[in-house]
């Protein structure tokens, strides 16, 4: 049986951290016999192509030994970038004051998608302000969230 996203994260996150990077998150997608494992790493100094290549080599070795993905797969390692996806409540909290978009697993007040200023995090809820409206969205209800890059 193939490993879950959580099991793969549990396997690779310590290696990323041991190499001196923050493990930002991962996306694991399967489609017709193959898979894509995208790993996001971060650092206070930013992430270079060499950093990605170095982490990719280490993770490839680890994944070859542990073999959690039974099908063919492609490994990609990158920085979260300007439109960084969010994987944890802490990541939302650290990016208060930025513009974000969030997609919910189920409709809240008749809608699944919200965009606006990330006003903070309170009691496991992500606060998004759009004009006069403020929404408190339960973190566990969020399917996907990311920053919206702003250019002056």
User: In the predicted model, what is the mean pLDDT of residues 104-129?
Assistant: 95
The count of other CB atoms within 10 Å of the CB of residue 126 is 25
Average confidence (pLDDT) over 98-111: 94
Contact 134/119 with Cβ under 8 angstroms? yes
d(CA 100, CA 113): 11
Residue among 47, 50, 63, 71 at smallest CA distance from 15: 63
Percent of the chain having pLDDT more than 70?
Answer: 99
Digit-coded pLDDT (tens) for 42-68: 999 999 999 999 999 999 999 999 999
User: What pLDDT score does 1 carry?
Assistant: 52
The verdict on pTM exceeding 0.85 is: yes
CATH class of 5-78: alpha beta
Average pLDDT, the chain: 94
Query: Into which CATH architecture does domain 85-147 fall?
Result: Roll (2.30)
Q: Could you tell me the residue ranges of all domains in the chain?
A: 5-78, 85-147
**Residue 105 confidence class, pLDDT cut points 50, 70, 90:** very high
């Amino acid at each position: 049986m193939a490993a879950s996203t959580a099991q793969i994260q549990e396997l690779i996150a310590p290696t990323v951290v041991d190499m001196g990077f923050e493990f930002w998150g991962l996306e694991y997608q399967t489609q017709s016999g193959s898979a894509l494992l995208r790993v996001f790493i971060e650092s206070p100094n930013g992430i270079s192509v060499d950093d990605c290549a170095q982490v990719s080599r280490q993770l490839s070795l680890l994944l070859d030994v542990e073999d959690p993905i039974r099908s063919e797969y492609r490994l990609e390692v990158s920085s979260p970038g300007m439109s960084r996806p969010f994987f944890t409540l802490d990541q939302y909290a650290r990016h208060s004051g930025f513009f974000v978009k969030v997609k919910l697993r189920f409709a809240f007040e008749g809608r699944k998608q919200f965009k606006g200023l990330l006003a903070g995090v309170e009691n496991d809820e992500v606060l998004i302000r759009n004009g006069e409206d403020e929404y408190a969205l339960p973190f566990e209800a969020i399917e996907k969230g990311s920053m919206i890059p702003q250019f002056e």
